[in-house]
Amino acid sequence: MPDTAVPSGSGLSFCTASRVRKAARLVSQIFDRHLERYDLTITQFGLLAYINTFDGIGIGDLAGKLVMDPTTVTRNLRPLQRRGLVALAADPNDRRARRLHLTADGRAALKDAKPGWSKAQREVEAALGDADTAALHATLDRALAKLSA
């Protein structure tokens, strides 16, 4: 188990960003470990899932939904495009705009990786317990809503 303690007197002991980022890294490591066998990271899995749900979404809109910078989304999409899992196509209504679509291989990769995602989800829920998982989700949902306002 990593030492996640914050040095006292460092000012970091009250830092919300530090706590949230450490928790996010630990959760990401669990998901990445379970998705590794599918040659995906949790970020890539998330991109595939969002594109599957919002077929034809633009990079800017996808970045907004993920609360990411569009250049970061583009950088994370490149390996998926190289593998033929995601296609970027011209919008038929506006040739200047590009739209994201999963390829057949992308849909298959997402479907194949769902058991790994489910195992990771169960591991996190088991570590936190049902009550803390529900409380964490509720707290994060409220924080996202308030911070996005």
For residue 82, what are its two tokens?
């190289």
- In this structure, what are the phi and psi dihedrals at residue 67, rounded to the nearest 5 degrees? 55, 50
* Tens-place pLDDT, residues 128-144: 999 999 999 999 999 99
* Tens-place pLDDT, residues 25-57: 999 999 999 999 999 999 999 999 999 999 999
Q: Per residue in 101-121, is it b (16+ CB within 10 Å) or e — as a string?
A: ebeeebeebbeebeebbeebe
- Distance from C-alpha of 36 to C-alpha of 138, rounded to nearest angstrom: 29
Q: What pLDDT is recorded for position 92?
A: 82
